[in-house]
A and B are shown apart, each in its own frame.
Chain A
């Protein structure tokens, strides 16, 4: 059985040199649940009789840790988040899987009015240490109700933390960090990244929520992104280098609280900022970053801050429309070149 294979691999063999996001997430659960008996997982189809999650991320967990700690639920998002909140108030560390980010809209009352606010409204008498996992992303023709990025909705609510890893090591480290965190965390997984390969996580290396990663150093412009488009940004930076432009790529990893220091330090050096995200551009996280950078570095910018986001329409089903909807490395290259051209015109 796959479930057993996953277990054995996690418990007996040394970690492989490279792994996938999917395997890294499974390993994060294995390690977190083994380390702390208070860690729970609930969500639709997460237990082994239901295939260990629709993508297989939780395979082996209910077999190893018991179906009382890893529980498949009815299709009831409010009940899922409510149960997670209640168990957390009683000392547990539940991870709730909301399958797709679009389904979180059904549970917004529980997330926004309760998980986010109980610490403040109780005067600090309780916190809500839950992690809410959800996957999303355009690119697999899943249509308008399965692929939205709503990270700016959650980032706009005081009391929630929002993370969106792009590598296996970050997926592992940030899931562990979210489970250990005293506050509610929204954990965003990109569907296309599950199979992507990267260096295996070091379980001892903690990844702090709120700390960006500099994926590539550069001097002509800064590209800030997160989730799958951070990978596109790295690809774009390699292409730009061949065209003589040196791009510094920052993968935020956490959107709320975002790593302002890392972004400001980079833009202070390069003087140009391109922000790239898969969420639609208007009112996206890029607007907050752009406003902050414009405010803090006014006068030091060599060009106006530029944003790339998805088109302001629902995620389209049709292949050519979906391709045109999300920015890719080619569009990042074009935008970066245009941004750098602006300077040369001025000189």
Chain B
């Protein structure tokens, strides 16, 4: 469950998906993603408490990028780290280098196994950074320049790429082919979207309710 247009909304809904998995007796696990800013919203605390009390198969993944909108972590969050907040809900809280895929995998695997075994939720705090402002095109004047430059210099993507080659897991040609395929898929999706016709205004009537006849025509005027 990714975030919606409302910061902090993913956790309560992920609980419902996890409840359904629990009722079904399936081994599915719900994963809720959110940022450090979202951990200051009441819904975070309600959701973690409920998930813990009901032992729901859910993993809460906080991407701590050190800014909530334009405000730094230090100015907005009293907790020393987000993972510490797990203590209040009597669940494991783990801080991990979110820019290290192997470390991230190990932590996530353990959390998912716990959830599947009926032991309830885990809170993972994945430390990361953002290379751009909160809003597309914002000048990010509020971000510390040196901090941002250091984070860009430690970009996890080239680091992981070099690591894969150094460990002999993949060679340059294989990685270049993957990159080319991914970029191609993105280009195709963008081309498809740009070539698609704009929606007909009749779509204002669609999907408000399952039955479009419920709302009278004049209500859309």
Contacts and interface: CB of A to CB of B under 8 A. Distances in A.
B17 interface: yes
Contacts of A88: 16
Nearest to B220: A158
A94 B217 CA distance: 31
Interface string A121-132: 011100100000
A12 B24 CA distance: 30
B47 interface: yes
Give the interface centre of A68, A78, A89, A110 by most chain B CB atoms within 10 Å: A78
B207 A82 contact: no
Contacts of A257: 214-216
Interface string B6-50: 100101111111111111100000100000000000110011011
Given A74-B49, A86-B19, A90-B21, A113 B12 contact: no
B40 to A, nearest CB: 14
A81 B12 contact: yes
A83 B214 contact: no
B210 A79 contact: no
Give the interface centre of B11, B13, B24 by most chain A CB atoms within 10 Å: B13
A130 B15 CA distance: 15
Contact of A79 (B20, B24, B46): B46
Contact of A82 (B16, B21, B54, B210): B16
Interface residues of B, number: 37
Contacts of B13: 82-83, 85-86, 89, 110, 114
Interface in B180-214: 206-211, 214
Contacts of A120: 206-208
Contact of B50 (A76, A90, A119, A122): A76
Contacts of A73: 50
B5 interface: yes
Contacts of B211: 182
A159 B30 CA distance: 26
Contacts of B151: none
Nearest to A124: B207
A83 B15 contact: yes
A216 interface: no
Given A109-B9, A113-B6, A87 B43 contact: no
A92 interface: yes
B113 interface: no
B9 A89 contact: no
A87 B20 CA distance: 5
Interface string A150-182: 000000001101000000000000000000001
B206 A79 contact: no
B207 A78 contact: no
B12 A83 contact: yes
B43 A82 contact: yes
B207 A89 contact: no
Interface string A95-128: 0000000000000011001100001101110010
Contact of A87 (B16, B42, B209): B16
A172 to B, nearest CB: 22
Give the interface centre of A83, A122, A182 by most chain B CB atoms within 10 Å: A83
A240 B127 CA distance: 72
Interface of B: 1, 4-6, 9, 11-24, 30, 42-43, 46-47, 49-50, 53-54, 206-211, 214-216
Interface of A: 40, 68-69, 71, 73-74, 76-79, 81-92, 94, 109-110, 113-114, 119-120, 122-124, 127, 158-159, 161, 182-183, 210, 257, 260
29 contacts: A68-B23, A69-B23, A74-B50, A74-B53, A78-B12, A79-B46, A79-B49, A81-B12, A82-B9, A82-B13, A82-B16, A82-B43, A82-B46, A84-B16, A86-B1, A86-B12, A86-B13, A86-B17, A87-B20, A89-B13, A90-B17, A90-B24, A109-B9, A110-B12, A120-B207, A122-B207, A123-B207, A158-B208, A257-B216
**7 closest A-B pairs by CB:** A86-B16, A82-B12, A90-B20, A76-B46, A79-B46, A182-B210, A124-B207
Given A127-B210, A158-B215, 7 more contacts: A76-B46, A82-B11, A86-B13, A119-B208, A120-B208, A122-B207, A159-B208
